[in-house]
Structure 1
Amino acid sequence: MAPSAQSRHRTASRTPRSVRIAATVVAAALPVTAVAVSLDGGTPGATASPAPAAPATGPAVINDAFPTRDSADADTYVPSDESVWRDAVYDDAGNRLPNVEELKVHSPAMDRDIPVVTIRAKEDAANAPTIYLLNGADGGSGKANWLSQTTAIDFYGNRIGNVNVVIPMSGGFSYYTDWQQESGLDGDGNGNGGVQKWETFLTSELPGAMEQGHLGTSSDKRAIVGMSMTGSTSLVYAEHNPGMYDAVGSYSGCPATSGAGATAVDATLAMKGTGVTYEQMWGDRNGATARYNDAQVNVAELGDQQNIYVSSGTGLLGEHDVWSSPDVNRNLINESTVAGQGSPIEAVTNGCTHMFKAAADKAGVSDNITWNFHNTGTHQWAYWREDMYQSWPTLSAGLFGPESVADAQAVGDQAYDDYHASL
């Protein structure tokens, strides 16, 4: 049965009063992705001007999966120091894991090759829907990615089994958006490529070539999930492309990104240390392009989007932040990271998410969203693992229909319980 209004708003009674917070935090260990926010960016419920014309493009070109790690390493299209994620794709002998692929995908809009990892459906592959997972600030080039930090391969590939998962393993500090100008982030590790056009790639070039082409599924059902930096991106993609996604997930994101909200973006870009600027990405931070890419400004565009899951912690230390927890592992640096950085970052995203809820309430779209405001939790992967399990009923409702929710709840709950039993 479909989630009830009560379940969709099960945490609303715990919502603290909105706060005005501004913070700038850098560095990512454990890894923790830095975010900084000013919460008065954008006008709730307002709709920005239309986007500039998209670049001329064609379908992505997808090469065959690399059979071994040696063959992937030998290609050199990904610098060796940006491919830690390969540890999760290949076994100790260097052979790729069952149903997991590393693909070299060429984007016509960016004229560069991009690493994409897929987790293929093992059951009913001919009709399997597709879930796109977006990494956080570093785009997966370090250890902060879905493959290295979560059980995504087991959860989606084995416990669920009848979905395809697609994860781009590049695009750090880009917000996965179409940039306006050239920057120090253009190109791949070999210097190939031009101005970043990530939204064009992920919403126009890749889906058809990947889903009906490479994966060979007949399903047109798809979901998109982002966390931290891409917690806003997943919402923006849904706003820009009505009807494209059947479910959307946003974990610990900061939806307000224009005007005063640009502070969050500034801090994220500063982490890269290349001097790239907000203006290179979206131009004037109060201009039409910036506002078009602000999920809070355009929240009313989610009026027809169903099955949205939005979550955040409070910044208060929780069970995954204590000295003995696996993610801290009795390490003083780890403990100082979650307490000194992850805590204030999540406090900021919590305020951001409550501001987004206020905007959604005003725009009349809150009933489309499952709000999960955790009582505790810092800005780190342990809590996003939980969100992966807890959001599955919402995603499943969009991908398989409301009749799937009970079974999806059982699968998510079991994965959640097994995760906690392993701690």
Structure 2
Amino acid sequence: MSLAAQGIDTGDTAWLLAATALVLLMTPGLALFYGGMVRTKSVLNMLMMSFVSIALVTVVWLVAGYSLAFGDDSFGGLIGNLEHAGMSGLGPGSVHGTVPTLLFATFQLTFAIITAALISGAIADRAKFGAWLVFVPVWALLVYVPVAHWVWGPGGWVLDRLGALDFAGGLPVEITSGASGLALALVLGPRLGFKKDAMRPHNLPMVVLGAGLLWFGWFGFNAGSALGANGLAAAAFLNTLAAGCTGLLGWLFVEQKRDGHPTTLGAASGAVAGLVAITPSCGSVSLLGALVVGLAAGVVCSYAVGWKFRLNYDDSLDVVGVHLVGGVIGTLLIGVFAEKAMTGGAEGLLYGGGLAQLGKQLVAVVAVGAYAFLMTYGIGKLIDKVMGFRADEEHEHTGLDLTVHAETAYDHGVLGHGAPVGASPVPSAQKVKTQA
């Protein structure tokens, strides 16, 4: 049977293949972004937490995650069924819209992967790697999969019953990862020396490279969510670029006014904040709306990252300040800037829609944020009780690269822990009792 006879559009399929690869690249980009932000003694551990998420989430998704998220609703808009567990019944001839179902499932998988990886930034420098290996698949199945069904799955209550809008993942990805990151940060407690020691990024060029790869991949994330090579994809693509730019500029403006110095870290963080905020709204707002959404996120998130020092929660790499806050901004502003020309129906406050859509967005934000926080807190506490989630104090002080992985990212990382010049990092690592 020909592709045309199957209902598959080759142009849409080609674009979604490319978009899927772009989104998958975001997780290595995130690894570099996070890796550059930590100190030298935990760089590799940070990279590993992202990379291992690719493998762990993929297995969960193929076994049951996709079917529960995108299978026909089986429980009042809360979860799908297991008809496609193990990807059963989804051969090359199966079609979702105008693209192969297997491709659609893989595209959605890449979203699940990076959402789990994002959480690691909130607990950098202090989590047991073995506990992370347990947490990721459990969290993906119990937190991400249900929320994905609520927002995107057939019969999901957020879209079909509430009528809230989310084009590319403000609720399942940004708010879910941010609320989950906050919960885990509270479970593990602050890093040794939090609010006392300087914990500056060790490699800002790596941070900028990671941010650049994230921005590049984000075009697949947002424009790919149109599921076709069409005008909506083009609009989402341009909105993504615009919001990233105004997010960057907004953050730098705050830094210049507040601190007197626009920083490299600020530029990278501002761009990411703008991209986070435009994720849910890129298919609902015009270019003007996208510019405002990005600017609002850059300004507000630049202040939000400092809340952890006042409220005493150690969100190591600002997952809460950027992803939770940015996701909330972008999701709520749909209720202000949504245009009928983009949505096909719903309109925001500024375009004659009144407060109705804004109210729907608010309900979705509160419900998803609360669910993700409470479930993650419970999962984290259970793992902590059974096997311990927090790294040993000695391991945290020495650095997780040596104690967990028996490696260092840089030679001076070994020398910094007392190794003689010319010593091999492996014998030094072998002297340290490693953790599971």
Q: TM-score range by the shorter chain?
A: under 0.3
TM-score norm. by structure 1 comes to: 0.27
Larger helix percent: 2
Larger strand percent: 1
TM-score norm. by structure 2 comes to: 0.27
Larger Rg: 2
